[in-house]
Structure 1
Amino acid sequence: MPARLARKYKSNDPFEIAEALDIEVLERSDFKRLKGAFKVILNNSFIFINANLSDEMKRLVCAHELGHALLHRSLGKSETGLMEFELFDITSTTEYEANLFAANLLLDESSIEELVSDGFDIVQIARQLGTNVNLLLLKLQQMNDDNRFRLPDMPARNFLGTISDDAGHL
């Protein structure tokens, strides 16, 4: 679905896609630990993002919440909606699906394959693509059906909850 959306809207920018889908993205400066949330209010979809995050982290959170908006809309209708303290909790099916959505929207397979063939390691690829290494690992695990990559284990299930936004590269 993310590739289809990127083609349709000629962009992989989650903010642009959300706008095209009439999903309002609002920044909240009152969030402390909360990174983002998805909520349906009076049949209108909203993505809330912590205004104190870096632009890179906001993009990642928006892509993750967009995944919830498109894959788990009914959960956004609950009283609390979907609130994210740890975006990459892959013990939860809904969180894992939103993470894969974000990885597939933000990370281009051909760019990754080119960097791999040029001999870049996982950390170098993440830096080149301006992404978090854990998000890259999710994408690489999905791309690795034929075991062509030698990958480390999956990222820690709560990695986003344990990294600070000012930890250098995402």
Structure 2
Amino acid sequence: MDIKKYVYSLALANNTNNPFEIAENKGIIVLMEPLGSIHGYYSKALRTKFIHINENMDEHKQLFTCAHELGHALLHPNLSTPFLRDSTLFSINKLEVQANRFATCLCYPPEYLKTEFEGCSICQISEALCLPMSLIEYAMR
């Protein structure tokens, strides 16, 4: 599956790149909860999909976490995923890599990266967004 094309068509169909709005449009329940050091996770119970997000994170992290878990909900709908922690951004697990790519493409489409970070290197963009360079490279390809 081409994740970038899927994200582009999803954003176009929903007229937004906001993962909270897309989740709502898809009937996925987003719950804000005190999760300690856990950023979030996806679960499914009785055919109902849930995205759990740590209410104690800043808005930027909540947005990316929602996008990551939305990736799981749409790409891996029948799997309840392991918890997203800081280290999963660097995970080599196939499902986590796919969800990270999904989230990066949704939150930071190529047009946004090229406009907002004009003249910046991939390394500088990576540092500014606190994302691995491999994700920025993937989104900009």
- TM-score, scaled relative to structure 2: 0.83
Question: Unaligned 5+ residue runs, structure 2?
Answer: 1-5
RMSD: 2.2
CA distance in 1 between counterparts of 2:115 and 2:53 reads: 32
- Aligned residues of 2:108 and 2:139 also touching (Cα < 8 A): no
Counterpart of 1:61 in structure 2 is 65
Counterpart of 1:72 in structure 2 is 76
Counterpart of 1:5 in structure 2 is 10
Identity percentage of aligned residues: 32
Larger Rg: 1
Counterpart of 1:165 in structure 2 is none
Question: Unaligned 5+ residue runs, structure 1?
Answer: 145-170
1:91 deviation in Å?
A: 1.2
CA distance in 2 between counterparts of 1:135 and 1:5 reads: 24
Alignment equivalent of 2:136, drawn from 136, 139, 146: 139
CA distance in 2 between counterparts of 1:114 and 1:137 reads: 19
Within 5 Å, which residues of 2 pair with 1:120-159?
120-122=120-122, 125=125, 132-134=129-131, 137-144=134-141
1:34-54 CA distances to partner (integer Å, 9 max, x unpaired)? 110100011100000001000
Change beyond 3 A, Cα 1:142–1:123: closer
- TM-score, scaled relative to structure 1: 0.70
Q: How many residues align?
A: 135
